[in-house]
């Protein structure tokens, strides 16, 4: 297949730089001819691409609308106000900050806004699905604040009550013992709905503030298929590029009482000039997520993840927690093949044109670099138009690939089938040969 963007504006503008143009063409082809199952990725709309590739990248705008440290920001102020207003309307929030360059920055800014160095934060264990910024020893967060953690309950082996879901008794126990200043909900590898209400109650019981990191479910929340933490948590952070399907970046919504502290923590506390081209693209994405068809999309994402998970189970791969209620499928490969690591599985699936990432599973005996699990997501291929039938086919292809991982011919045959499947679901049909 040739570059699906060939002759589109994106390609023509780069015609003078053959090296970068070639690389973009190759990546466009990769994204169009292989399956994108990384749970934190998606395909933005052409309108989001256009805004993030716009002339707004030229402008310095340190500060906030109406209070900038540079001249010439009349239009930029309107852009950022539009993004803030659309975001507040989307989630019913009192205040919005659209400047964080990433979800990690959003989290770091909130910690800085609400806490003093050395204060205690209660967050999810990394090896049970928490994020690096929830206290990884490798993250700056753990060098500034003291983290204590909660995890998921033990696997039971009982299909009716499989366990491996957030253990709220443990959350409450650790909170009572450690008296955190901030309780954090949210994860990067967890296939269940995260109810904000029990976290609120636990935070209140120990006089802590409550932050919900909605990086993964933000689009599901906007689409009405995951309970909203807005109005329950004091502050909600998220990324704009996962299920929300916007440009790569972060954002924060909060109650008015935290607005000043949050804004100051983002700028000048953590960042300099905001990326106004990305903020314009965020505004586009927030408007798209407010449309009725986005609700249909979010419901389809959840249905597709369920279909993928069921198909994987039919091949003998166990779903952690026994199922999925969101866009993610976290699987334990040991039931399929005790020798198969997440690392090897990810690599062989890559060769078959199936892109996903290895992931630790709760109480994984292997290291985070090797792992016993895989994390898959349905958000991107749902955007491309796939439904449950295609997801079941994808699950079967994954099973075939892993079973015949030492057979190059079998892997090449899967790759051809993946290519054929993807050709019916181009992520950017309106740009192909535009």
- Active site residue ranges: 60, 62, 213, 239, 242, 248
324 binding ligand DSN? (CB under 6 A): no
How far apart CA 399 and CA 362 sit, in angstroms, is 22
305 binding ligand DSN? (CB under 6 A): no
- Minimum CB distance to ligand DSN smaller for 123 or for 215: 215
Measured in whole angstroms, how far is the alpha carbon of residue 217 from the centre of its chain?
7
Cβ-Cβ contacts under 8 Å for 220 (sequence gap 6 or more)? 226, 243, 298, 301, 302, 326, 327
Q: Which residues of 238-252 are buried (b: 16+ CB within 10 A; e: fewer)?
A: bbbbbbbbbbbbbbb
Q: Nearest to residue 282, comparing CAs of 252, 251, 259?
A: 251
Please give the span between the terminal C-alpha atoms of the chain, in angstroms, as a whole number.
16
- Minimum CB distance to ligand DSN smaller for 5 or for 190: 190
How far apart CA 107 and CA 133 sit, in angstroms, is 7
Q: Give the C-alpha distances (Å, rounded to integers) separating 99 from 110, 140, 217, 332, 384.
A: 13, 20, 20, 37, 28
Q: Nearest to residue 288, comparing CAs of 332, 349, 351, 246?
A: 246
How far apart CA 32 and CA 38 sit, in angstroms, is 14
Quick one: which H or E segment has residue 175? helix 168-178
Binding letters toward ligand DSN, positions 76-95, x by CB under 6 A? --------------------
- Minimum CB distance to ligand DSN smaller for 180 or for 377: 377
Q: In this chain, which of 3, 8, 32, 40 binds ligand DSN, going by CB under 6 A?
A: 40
Measured in whole angstroms, how far is the alpha carbon of residue 69 from the centre of its chain?
33
215 binding ligand DSN? (CB under 6 A): yes
What's phi and psi for 392, nearest 5 deg? Answer: -65, -40
- Minimum CB distance to ligand DSN smaller for 215 or for 331: 215
- Minimum CB distance to ligand DSN smaller for 129 or for 395: 129
Binding letters toward ligand DSN, positions 168-197, x by CB under 6 A? --------------------x---------
33 binding ligand DSN? (CB under 6 A): no
36 binding ligand DSN? (CB under 6 A): no
401 binding ligand DSN? (CB under 6 A): no
121 binding ligand DSN? (CB under 6 A): no
Cβ atoms of residues 349 and 331 within 8 Å: no
Minimum CB distance to ligand DSN, residue 86 (Å): 23
Minimum CB distance to ligand DSN, residue 42 (Å): 12
- Minimum CB distance to ligand DSN smaller for 97 or for 188: 188
Q: Which residue is nearest to ligand DSN (CB)?
A: 40
378 binding ligand DSN? (CB under 6 A): no
Query: In the block, which residue shows the tokens 């297949």?
Result: 1
382 binding ligand DSN? (CB under 6 A): no
Question: By rule CB under 6 A, what count of residues binds ligand DSN?
Answer: 4
Binding letters toward ligand DSN, positions 141-160, x by CB under 6 A? --------------------
Query: In the complex, which residues of this chain contact ligand DSN (CB under 6 A)?
Result: 40, 103, 188, 215
């Amino acid at each position: 297949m040739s570059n699906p963007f060939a002759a589109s504006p994106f390609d023509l503008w780069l015609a003078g730089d053959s090296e970068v143009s070639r690389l973009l063409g190759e990546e466009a082809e990769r994204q169009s001819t292989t399956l994108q199952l990384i749970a934190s990725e998606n395909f933005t709309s052409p309108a989001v691409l256009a805004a993030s590739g716009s002339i707004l990248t030229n402008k310095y705008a340190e500060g906030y609308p109406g209070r900038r440290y540079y001249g010439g920001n009349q239009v930029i102020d309107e852009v950022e106000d539009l993004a803030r207003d659309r975001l507040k309307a989307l989630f019913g929030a009192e205040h919005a900050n659209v400047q964080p360059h990433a979800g990690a920055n959003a989290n770091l800014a909130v910690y800085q806004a609400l806490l003093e160095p050395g204060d205690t934060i209660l967050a999810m264990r990394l090896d049970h699905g928490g994020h690096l910024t929830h206290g990884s020893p490798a993250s700056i967060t753990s060098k500034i604040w003291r983290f204590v953690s909660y995890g998921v309950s033990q696997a039971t082996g009982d299909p009716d009550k499989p366990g491996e879901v957030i253990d709220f008794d443990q959350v409450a126990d650790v909170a009572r013992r450690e008296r955190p200043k901030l309780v954090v909900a949210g994860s990067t590898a967890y296939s269940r709905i995260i109810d904000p209400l029990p976290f609120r109650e636990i935070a209140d019981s120990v006089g802590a503030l409550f932050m919900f990191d909605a990086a993964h479910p933000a689009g599901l929340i906007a689409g009405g298929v995951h309970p909203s933490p807005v109005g329950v948590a004091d502050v909600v952070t998220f990324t704009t590029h996962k299920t929300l399907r916007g440009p790569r970046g972060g954002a924060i919504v909060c109650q008015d009482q935290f607005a000043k502290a949050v804004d100051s923590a983002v700028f000048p506390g953590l960042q300099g000039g905001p990326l106004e081209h990305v903020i314009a693209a965020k505004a586009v994405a927030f408007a798209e997520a407010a449309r009725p068809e986005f609700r249909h999309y979010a419901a389809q994402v959840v249905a597709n993840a369920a279909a993928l998970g069921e198909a994987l189970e039919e091949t003998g791969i166990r779903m952690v927690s026994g199922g999925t209620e969101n866009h993610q499928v976290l699987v334990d490969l040991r039931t399929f093949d005790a020798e198969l690591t997440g690392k090897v599985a990810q690599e062989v699936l890559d060769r078959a044109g199936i892109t996903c990432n290895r992931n630790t599973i709760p109480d994984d005996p292997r290291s985070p670099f090797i792992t016993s699990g895989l994390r898959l997501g349905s958000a991107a291929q749902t955007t491309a138009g796939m439904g449950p039938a295609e997801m079941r086919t994808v699950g079967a292809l994954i099973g075939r690939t892993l079973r015949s991982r030492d057979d190059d011919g079998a892997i090449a045959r899967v790759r051809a089938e993946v290519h054929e499947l993807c050709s019916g679901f181009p992520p950017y049909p309106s740009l192909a040969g535009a």
